Amino acid sequence: MAANTNDIAGQTSKGASVHARRLLSYLVLIIVTFLCLFWFYVLFINATRSHSELSAGFTPIPSTHFIDNWISLKNGTQPVFTGMLNSLFIAVATAALATYFSTMTAYAIHAYEFKAKKAMFTFILMVMMIPTQVTALGFLQLIGKIGLDNNAAALIVPAIASPAVFFYMKQYMDSTLPLSLIEAARIDGSGEFRTFNQIVVPLMKPAIAVQAIFSFVTSWNNYFTPALVLHDDAKKTLPILIAQLRSADFLKFDMGQVYMMIAFSIFPVILVYLIVSRQIVGGVTLGGVKG
Amino acid sequence: MNKKSKVVRYNKWGYIFLIPFVVAYLVFQMVPLVSTVYNSFFENYRAGLMQIGPNYIGFENFKTIITNGDLPTYLQNTLIMWILGFIPQILLSLLLGAWFTDPSLRLKCQTFFKTVIYLPNLIMASAFAMLFFTLFADSGPVNSILMQIGVLSHAYKFMSHVWSVRSLVATMNCLMWFGNTTILLMAGMMGIDPSLYEAAQVDGATSTQIFYKITLPLLKPILIYVMITSLIGGLQMFDVPQVLTNGTGDPMRSSMTLIMYLNKHLFSKNYGLGGALSVFMFIITGILSLIVFKFTGKEDKDGR
């Protein structure tokens, strides 16, 4: 790619017009960057300001009440810490199940020849796009019957069947997992299950990491299903608490506390993202269409 | 003979490794889907403390949601908000994608910009909506800023006007998804054979001509893919309008989406109408998925 870039660039240096276009594109990019970050900047500023400062109007300078807001949120009526622990537990468990079992499913399709293989692959691709919302009704009835209502397991266990994660794993295997390697393991007398756990899974680590992050974030942000499944305050996840904050008569609230709570649900994800953004941005492409 | 039986012995592991997926899928997706469809044919709801049904009523539920105007209205709301968000989203993505992949521009800090534009996609939609709600509240920071710089003389009530609420929802959707679309389109643009560009440049084509005559036509499959997957996602629009309007879809239910309506029925345990709505959604998304499937399937064949 780099070589091509230079070739073409050499031929088209038309001077001024390129400069003008470059200037325009930087201008647009800066505006877009501003539009993306402005809201989070305001959120951060407002999370540091007290209720009375907030009612006085907006200023772009942070204030000194970050810790105060934090303490009042901690002592407030919303169980935010339990909420965060619940969200964290469900998201980690979902990510673990989704990646491990999707790798296993992809391996079954990738490494073996069997009659139902093609049909199975086609089937998974076809159901990949069907949203969980359309089966939510039956899902709620089902978990009511099998005693999983109001239970985090109802949100975790279904992650075993994650067609989108499977698709990514399959794509990744096609490009990186040679069948000869599996043959070699067989000749060395490794059992199929052991080969999968000790050779395939370690080789798939980069893909597993990317999909673990995606599954984690999706679950962390998920609002629709958890809101229908979890009823006890002690079991609720952060998005449900945010929605409750919205339905409470929020004008009576300490606004500093409200901003603090929003910041509390958003900033952990931003922090993680800043560390692993390269892998995430790269992962978007492979999961979508082939380039 | 020996070799063949060995292959067969290995290949049964294909089935074994598929068991977890198949079982989980059957239990948590297939059974619920069947029972959702089953429910849509029954009258089953609560009126006060009374439980009505379940009584078999055929297609009566489907007739009800269409004739009482709920389904058409909410479908229309959903589509309006999707289009309002999608048009700026796709235009912005095309523009940014073309610039990022344009070798003559050689933009600096590409990684930084890509990181920033993808960021909103990972934000908790409900928290983002709550943030917008507080920022655009009557006494919120946006009104305060607009009044300070003299654009407004008094606070604009963003939450009380049909088109301002819809625009806010569309803005949030656009912000959350244009980064994702840009990255997908860029992958498509980088897949285009560079010799085509070289030839066009030798022939003296301008960058605008190149964009319209080469990039856009060759990008068509990916554009269609992006559009349909975005439509499928748009039909599922829920978190943002739900939290922004506190589940009411106000003003006058003009921002009530299909899934918000479904959510209402699920909470009030009106399984008959909820089921009919789910089946309707299933059919639409099913058709759209088939179109996407056709596209990805074709690409798969070409790729090998």
ipTM (interface predicted TM):
0.87
Residue B23 identity: V
Query: Any bridge partners for residue B47, and if so which?
Result: B50
Predicted local confidence at residue A286, as pLDDT: 65
**For the segment A243-274, what is each residue's pLDDT rounded down to a tens digit?**
988 888 666 678 888 889 999 889 888 888 88
CA atoms within 13 A on the CB side of B17: 31
**For the segment A7-28, what is each residue's pLDDT rounded down to a tens digit?**
444 444 455 678 888 899 999 9
Predicted local confidence at residue A291, as pLDDT: 29
More confident residue, B302 or A180: A180
Could you read off the pLDDT tens digit of each residue along chain B, which spans 304 residues?
445 555 557 888 899 999 999 999 999 999 999 999 999 998 888 777 777 778 888 888 888 888 888 899 999 999 999 999 999 999 999 999 989 988 778 888 888 999 999 999 999 999 999 999 989 988 888 898 898 888 888 888 998 899 999 999 999 999 999 999 999 899 888 888 888 888 988 888 888 888 888 888 988 888 988 999 899 999 999 999 999 998 888 888 899 999 999 999 998 888 889 999 999 999 999 898 888 877 765 544 433 3
Using CA coordinates, name the residue in chain A closest to B300: A290
What is the pLDDT averaged over residues A132-153? 92
> What residues contact residue B207 under an 8 Å CB cut-off, 6+ apart?
A21, B102, B104
Predicted local confidence at residue A127, as pLDDT: 85
Predicted local confidence at residue B12, as pLDDT: 87
Counting residues of chain A whose pLDDT is more than 70, the rounded percentage is 91
What is the pLDDT averaged over residues A117-121? 91
Please give, rounded to a whole number of angstroms, the shortest distance from the CA of A137 to a CA of chain B.
6
What is the pLDDT averaged over residues A159-173? 92
> B293: burial class by Cβ within 10 Å (0-12, 13-18, 19+)?
middle
More confident residue, A148 or B296: A148
What is the pLDDT averaged over residues A94-116? 94
Which of B17, B259, B297 comes nearest A108 by C-beta?
A: B17
Cβ distance B21 to A278 less than 8 Å, yes or no, reads: no
**b/e B232-263 (16+ beta carbons within 10 angstroms → b):** bbbbbbbbbbbbbbbbbbbbebbbbbbbbbbb
Please give, rounded to a whole number of angstroms, the shortest distance from the CA of B184 to a CA of chain A.
6
3-state SS, chain B, equals: CHHHHHHHHHHHHHHHHHHHHHHHHHHHHHHHHHHHHHHCCEEEEEECCEEEEEEECCCHHHHHHHHCCHHHHHHHHHHHHHHHHHHHHHHHHHHHHHHHHCCCCCCCCHHHHHHHHHHHHHCCHHHHHHHHHHHCCCCCHHHHHHHHCCCCCCCCCHHHCHHHHHHHHHHHHHHHHHHHHHHHHHHHHHCCCHHHHHHHHHCCCCHHHHHHHHHHHHHHHHHHHHHHHHHHHHHCCCHHHHHHCCCCCCCCCCCCCHHHHHHHHHHCCCHHHHHHHHHHHHHHHHHHHHHHHHHHHHHHHHHC
Which of A105, A139, A157 comes nearest B32 by C-beta?
A: A139
More confident residue, A156 or A277: A156
Residues in chain B closer than 8 A to A256 (CB atoms)? none
Cβ distance A273 to B243 less than 8 Å, yes or no, reads: no
**Around Cβ B77, how many Cβ atoms within 10 Å?**
24
| Residue to test with chain B: of A137, A148, A218, A262, most B Cβ within 10 A | A137
What is the pLDDT averaged over residues A90-113? 95
Residues in chain B closer than 8 A to A142 (CB atoms)? 27-28, 31-32, 35
Using CA coordinates, name the residue in chain A closest to B122: A217
pTM of the complete model:
0.88
Query: Any bridge partners for residue B43, and if so which?
Result: B55
Closest CA to B261 of B71, B33, B63: B71
Cβ distance B126 to A43 less than 8 Å, yes or no, reads: no
Least reliable range by pLDDT among A12-26, A57-71, A74-88, A232-246:
A12-26
Cβ distance A223 to B18 less than 8 Å, yes or no, reads: no
CB pairs under 8 A between A and B: 324
Report the C-alpha gap between B57 and B39 in whole angstroms: 10
For chain A, give every domain's residue range: 15-68, 78-247
**Around Cβ B298, how many Cβ atoms within 10 Å?**
11
Is residue B136 within 8 A of residue B143, CB to CB? The reply is yes
Residues in chain A closer than 8 A to B115 (CB atoms)? 273-274, 277, 281
Report the C-alpha gap between A231 and A242 in whole angstroms: 15
Residues in chain A closer than 8 A to B249 (CB atoms)? none
What is the pLDDT averaged over residues A166-184? 89
Predicted local confidence at residue B182, as pLDDT: 93
Residues in chain A closer than 8 A to B144 (CB atoms)? 57-58
DSSP 3-state of A147: coil
CATH fold of the domain at B70-299? MetI-like fold (1.10.3720)
> A151: burial class by Cβ within 10 Å (0-12, 13-18, 19+)?
middle
Please give, rounded to a whole number of angstroms, the shortest distance from the CA of B106 to a CA of chain A.
8
CATH architecture of A78-247: Orthogonal Bundle (1.10)
Please give, rounded to a whole number of angstroms, the shortest distance from the CA of B287 to a CA of chain A.
10
Report the C-alpha gap between A41 and A34 in whole angstroms: 10
**Tokens 């339905």 -> residue:** A247
Using CA coordinates, name the residue in chain B closest to A127: B289
Please give, rounded to a whole number of angstroms, the shortest distance from the CA of A179 to a CA of chain B.
13
Report the C-alpha gap between B92 and B89 in whole angstroms: 5
| Residue to test with chain A: of B45, B134, B211, B215, most A Cβ within 10 A | B134
**For the segment A192-246, what is each residue's pLDDT rounded down to a tens digit?**
899 999 999 999 998 999 899 889 999 999 999 999 999 998 999 999 999 988 8
Counting residues of chain A whose pLDDT is more than 90, the rounded percentage is 46
Cβ distance A289 to B222 less than 8 Å, yes or no, reads: yes
Cβ distance B21 to A101 less than 8 Å, yes or no, reads: yes
Is residue B26 within 8 A of residue B35, CB to CB? The reply is no
Cβ distance B188 to A291 less than 8 Å, yes or no, reads: yes
Using CA coordinates, name the residue in chain B closest to A26: B107
Predicted local confidence at residue B208, as pLDDT: 83
Which of B33, B128, B144 comes nearest A57 by C-beta?
A: B144
